[in-house]
Amino acid sequence: MENTDHEKFLRRAIEMSARASLEYSTGGAFGAVLVKDGKIVSEGMNRVIASHDPTWHAEMEAIRLACITLQSFKLPGCTLYTSAEPCPMCMATCYWAGIEQVFYGATVEDAFEYGNFDDRPIYEQLALPKEQRSIKLTQLLRDEAVVVWKKYQAKPDKIQY
């Protein structure tokens, strides 16, 4: 794909970020576009404020809608264009979905400087051993939980992913 196409799709993501933050006030200045075979499959914008949902990021919306449109929980051959560098949740979702490439506009540092969006504490927490994280993780009822996992493992018609 030519660089002009990448710029065109990224400009659309930036346009979606302006809609979310300035026009509709649904959330921060985040917009995303998911492309396959040179065509837009889906678009997303931040709706955290409007939906009262901390996971309703532009990238998440674009990925969810693309999965519905393409009827697949994997998105091989897809490229994500996003107005800002993806947060840890959105980047992890790109890995889960099998997205092959991400183009972004603003950096994590830009989002912090101009919007007070600070992902640094999340990155820092995820780098710590789980015993040292600020959200306490406590394991209970492992044997009972593993019973279900063993049944799942033996299920002949399960879909691998």
**Active site residues per annotation:** 59
Query: How many CB atoms lie under 10 A from the CB of residue 9?
Result: 23
Q: Is 57 helix (H, G, I), strand (E, B) or coil?
A: coil
Instruction: Confirm if 6 and 14 have CB atoms less than 8 A apart.
Output: no
Return d(Cα 65, Cα 117) in angstroms, integer: 25
Return d(Cα 9, Cα 14) in angstroms, integer: 9
